[in-house]
Structure 1
């Protein structure tokens, strides 16, 4: 990959992280704060709009770089500040414009890709569930209070129920299957070792 491609890839990575954060926060607000069930159909348009908004930001940055490049053309005097560009800066400004447009193009492509949007929603949901789970575990460790003495029990119970709605049950089921398979394999290995020990202990 060239330097421009590397810069575009880095920009897309940063924008993707920002999109996940925005969608995660949206999920937390809509499911926990508003006491609603997690709804992929509701979150998907928001995820698409987030990607498009980020693409528009990149396009605006590209337009600004283009404007700055035109303004810098033919200027050879000393610069008066960081953003007071001169003719010698035109190459970097042109490169910057290409990078911004490259990031914007990729973000728009992802917004139009149903699978990419679905992946974004899944990642954001997992992040939201991780936040909720961590907060609940931290509260339980710190307080360790019973329902009859915890004034916030009802509120936290509602939060726990909402948290369960964020769990990816197929993933949880697959995780449990892997654990069961691992335990079965471990038990089989122990039985095999025990059989070998008995064989070695038997008199010839």
Structure 2
């Protein structure tokens, strides 16, 4: 019985990580890309929806295992593939169905618990902030870097010079021509 409980807890942990990631991404898009305010209740609703969607997936997986178990019952020949179950697989299929159902049940309980939803949203918000913080830190480190601080400076210099000539100088030339043309046509 302990193996089932451990498998259910592991499944719930994986599902919660997926939900946090989904909410984190939504926070980043809504607040940074779209410029919306951080609305804990909106993201709480997203967390609930994600939990319930994963619970439905787990229910479907449990039903699939139950159907496979029913088909495998009484078959004693050699299987013809990975999912061609036999009577000897019935016990394992039953256990897997129970585990999927157990994960679904726990996800629904979590979806109804306001404190756990708040924790998911707060953890997702912290993760989103950490991503933003890392991006800013990396960008400042790269943009503020002096040539003598960059160990790859010499190796990448040629590529940067090529990019300068083929992209930046071409763009600058085009812009100068457009300004000159606009100035003469005025």
Scaled by the length of structure 2, what TM-score is found?
0.76
The 5 A counterparts of 1:118-137 are 118-137=118-137
The 5 A counterparts of 1:81-92 are 81-92=81-92
Match for residue 57 of structure 1?
A: 57
Deviations 1:82-115 (A, max 9, x none): 0000011000000000000000000000000111
2:49 paired with 1:67: no
> Separation in 1 of the partners of 2:10 and 2:131?
26
> Separation in 1 of the partners of 2:27 and 2:88?
47
Scaled by the length of structure 1, what TM-score is found?
0.70
1:144 CA drift (Å): 2.3
Match for residue 184 of structure 1?
A: none
Aligned CA RMSD, in angstroms, stands at 1.1
Q: Report how many aligned residue pairs link the two structures.
A: 145
> Separation in 2 of the partners of 1:102 and 1:58?
9
Match for residue 28 of structure 1?
A: 28
For structure 1, which segment, 23-32 or 136-145, has the greater mean C-alpha deviation from structure 2 after superposition?
136-145
> Separation in 1 of the partners of 2:56 and 2:29?
25
Deviations 1:157-177 (A, max 9, x none): xxxxxxxxxxxxxxxxxxxxx
> Separation in 2 of the partners of 1:95 and 1:39?
41
What secondary structure does 1:128 align onto? helix
> Separation in 2 of the partners of 1:39 and 1:112?
19
> Separation in 2 of the partners of 1:2 and 1:40?
36
1:11 CA drift (Å): 0.7
Deviations 1:28-75 (A, max 9, x none): 111111111111121111111011011111111001000100011111
> Separation in 1 of the partners of 2:24 and 2:71?
40
The 5 A counterparts of 1:126-165 are 126-144=126-144
Q: Runs in 1 of length 4+ with deviation above 6 angstroms?
A: none
Match for residue 110 of structure 1?
A: 110
Gaps of 5+ in 1: 146-204
> Separation in 1 of the partners of 2:76 and 2:89?
10
> Separation in 1 of the partners of 2:49 and 2:37?
21
What secondary structure does 2:116 align onto? helix
Gaps of 5+ in 2: 146-186
